[in-house]
Amino acid sequence: MKFGVLVNEGPFTHQASDSAYHFTKAALEKGHQVLRVFFYYDGVNNANKLSEPQSDDRNLVKMWGELAEEHNLDLVVCVAAALRRGIKDEILADGFRISGLGQLIELGMAADRTVVFGD
C-alpha cells in the first residue's frame, strides 16, 4: 500500500506528531511505501532544528530526520505555514525540505491512502 502522511500539529503540544511518526515507522517496517510526509500548520515545527527538548524527553525533530535518512523518506514542510512561524531554510533540520501545497495535492493523488494527524 502507498501511504501519504499529513502532520498538522507541532512536536511538543499535541500527540499527533508522535502518532504520525510511529505510524510512518510501522508502515515502513511492514513493507508499505510512504510516498511523503507533509508538515502543515503547526506541524512545520517538527522541522525546526533550533528546538531543544529536555535530555529525558524524546526529540521528534531528530527522530524524523533519522527515519528519513534510513528509509529515503520525503519530509516536506509547507512554505507558507513555515514562513508564518519563522521557519526558513537556515533553521530547517536535516532530512526536511520546504515546498508548496502542490506537493500535498500530488501526494493525495498518488497515494492509496492519506492519513491525517492533528486537526
pLDDT at 82 over 80: yes
| Residues 78, 44 contacting (CB under 8 angstroms) | yes
CB 8 within 8 Å of CB 104? no
Average pLDDT over residues 97-104: 96
For residue 107, indicate whether it is catalytic: no
Distance CA 97, CA 74 (A): 8
In the chain, what are the domain boundaries? 2-117
- What's the pLDDT band for 52 if we cut at 50, 70, 90? confident
Give the DSSP letter of residue 41: G
Nearest to 75 by CA among 106, 109, 47, 52: 47
Say if pTM beats, i.e. exceeds, 0.85: yes
How far apart (Å, rounded) are the C-alpha atoms in residues 12 and 31? 29
C-alpha 48/C-alpha 59 separation (Å) is: 11
Residue 69 confidence class, pLDDT cut points 50, 70, 90: very high
Comparing 54-63, 77-86, 103-112, the range with the smallest average pLDDT is: 54-63
Homologous superfamily of domain range 2-117: DsrEFH-like (3.40.1260.10)
pLDDT of 29 over the 90 cut: yes
Q: Which member of 60, 78, 98, 107 is catalytic? A: 78
